[in-house]
Structure 1
Amino acid sequence: MKTSLITALVLGLQLQPGVAQDRLECLLPQGGRILMEGPCEAPNDDRPDTCDTQYSTRYLGPDGAAPVELGVTSMRRTADSGTPAEMCAHFYVRDGTLHAPGAGYGEYRTVARGQLAALVATPHHDDAVDQQANRESARQALSRPGYTRMAVLGGTWVVEEALTRWHWGHYAGADVYRAPLSQVSQTSSTDEGKSWSAPLITSAPRLFAIGASALDQADAARPGAALIADKRRERRALLAQGKQLVLRCRLPDRAEFVLSGRLPDATDGELPPFVPLVSVGYVAAPGRAAIEVEPELALVMGLPTAAGAQQEQVCNKAGLANGVPYIGISMLDQGGKRFTDFSFPDKIWYPSAPPRQASELLMRRELSYGMNVALTRRARVIALEYPLVSQACTRAARRDQLPVCPVGAVLRSESHDNGRTWSDLVFSGSSWIFAPGQSTDQQPGRARLR
């Protein structure tokens, strides 16, 4: 068979329906590059946000060195929404040796003088060490951005996991991967991985540089040419092909948010309690085209299949405030053409320690965060608000029910530059969004299940 025909057959096997092909080039700071290629598998379950990508990986050394086949590299950690920069940062060069991740947990590979070596290092994890480190951290907790390095230093195996200061959720900062490293979790072995030292949280790493993010380490690879499929949209399109559960949440002005979720193809007569959210659309008036809303911004984890209170609670995520429709942490922009996507600094995104004055008022009045954080706009000023409710009310709620408590006040942060910067949270008895004295499910501006 001719080479071109063989190539076509191979590509035909790889590029099956529902499979997106990624191609990525990573440039190493000392010269040389990494070439990766692999399919993003279509989901075989009901999670549109997951994607396991197994990349065929090749190393091309500097100065025309012969290529080295590294085998398969797994990028499960960043495959669902990973950018080329996030993926390339897993490769780095130290003292002339390339370090690369492997296909599975604890697998590491190195290339020195054109020779490939593979090691497996699986030190144990210690929750007590994490808890103590979190207590001692200035920000009360540490986060793992998902980067681990392993190297052999003078006969000692060293494994370090990068740590950053605390972030809450996906929307904590403009880019959680760009947060500077503050510490590492470090462990070592002197008997080639048979036994390991207890993990140590330290600000004196041997393999990372403190103060720079995992993506900005001086020895880490940077992205070159890349073809990365938008996997989330692609998988949602696949999920949308099946039977759908549709909820219509009507606003006071008769506009609607339309939320769709995928129902199982086959059941034994009983539906699961929740199905994955596939899409969110805003319809300003009958006959108007829907404006798409990124589902993650709606803060809806899944759609309840049973009619009733739980479906109403989903609609409670949406509303109309100051004439501006919103759902979750997104609102219609001033042009009326798209829903906003802001990144909120961790000082205002469910902070563990609000500013002192606000914190003192919360304690004095025995108030706590309610459900349904929301976003609105007045003229050119944008506000993010948390409804505050009585702690006594939330404690009295039954375990199997969400508390229904009147809003007593709000915590509000404002932006005067279209979401680029945000003020500290301020305690306020008046709200731009929530009517005081009424629970979040009885707010006059909220959306109602149609």
Structure 2
Amino acid sequence: MTARALMVAAPRSGGGKTTVTLALLAALKRRGVRVGAAKTGPDYIDPAFHAAITGRPGLNLDSWCMPPPLLATVLQAAQQDVDLVVVESAMGLFDGLVAPEGARGAPADIAARFGIPVVLVLDVSGQGQSVGPIAKGFATWQADVPVAGVVLNRVASPRHARLTSGAVHAAGLPVLGTLLRQPGQPLPERHLGLVQAREHGGLTDWLEKLADKAEQELDLDAILATARPLPDLSHLLHGAGAQAAMLPPPGQRIAVAEDDAFSFLYGHLALFWRQAGAEVVPFSPLADQGPDPSCTACWLPGGYPELHAGQLAQAEHFKTALQHFATTRPVHGECGGYMVLGQGLEDAQGQRHQMAGLLGHATSFARRKLNLGYREATLQMDCLLGPARSRLRGHEFHYASVLEPGADQPLAALTAGDGTDLGLCGGQRGLVTGSFFHVLARVPDLT
């Protein structure tokens, strides 16, 4: 049976999408609904919360990075053995690049392509009847993006609920719930978003309270009724398109760093690597573990090494084992992993810590500068990510800066999502590669 789907979206970031999504997932799972989830756009943190509730891999759907066959493959994976897929929108519903149409990285691209109805979350704090025109504008902006109803968030009082609900009804849309404003912050945040699910000691209790709130303040039956069956994706799943866009396994047995410092590995990469017959073997640098010697490749994902720089500097076995591994097998570091492959990492207090020394650069978190956006990378030489001249799509999201560039060969030439030339990035020395670039997919070359 085909699963049904709905999307939780909002006019902007910070409007309550994640809270509503997690509340829905927790409450519906409590009801016995088999729920799955996905996040539009590049993001690691929210999908980890989805996974904590659903017990399924956290997956991403990105219309700029992923061509339609790969999008369909990820969505097919998200709906396996579930009744309902809840897709959480990134940013605002229509936010993305200016072009190309339907592949801008906007959440609306996903809703339109797969006919997924939208539950629009409106933060009504500081507003009354003005929420009506906002709701109507979003509902009529793009004909193939169906807005099925509205959840009013941060409602101050019963009178406020009546005012805002009346305005939404006047706009021709149903109100699917009114979430009352609560003091305090529901989940702690840090510089890349929410604190990771794995670090949230009270997560289980918090999710139970969130499910209680959903049962009390959301019309769960009405929200379930908005969901539509996903379309038949079989015509996109077969053929060379999806396979050509997937990043193939970098080895038969892949040692992957996994702990509080290294956790930003995209769920679809690990899932498809396993489906291709590879084995993912986790290890913890923070526990002073090195990559399993039986592995054929090592991957250091992004994360928060800047918060654990002192502990990583003292992890002598990890560094020695990684150095030995790299003499005969490929090692790749993304973002935080790239920082750890360098000569040193300067923490927020300006103290420098010795890192693995497999590449020549050094980085600083004390000298912060936000780097954020879509990226296309063209590999300069053959490496673990693919042959020279291969093109990859992904993103950058980091505050760290390069203190010392080192003298390694560059890994890739980088352009922004709008085509702006960003120059060369990363480093490559022998079998070791790394950059701040996070890869989501390959650009298919089907010629």
Q: TM-score normalised to the size of structure 2?
A: 0.27
Larger fraction in strand: 1
Bigger CA radius of gyration: 1
Q: TM-score normalised to the size of structure 1?
A: 0.26
Larger fraction in helix: 2
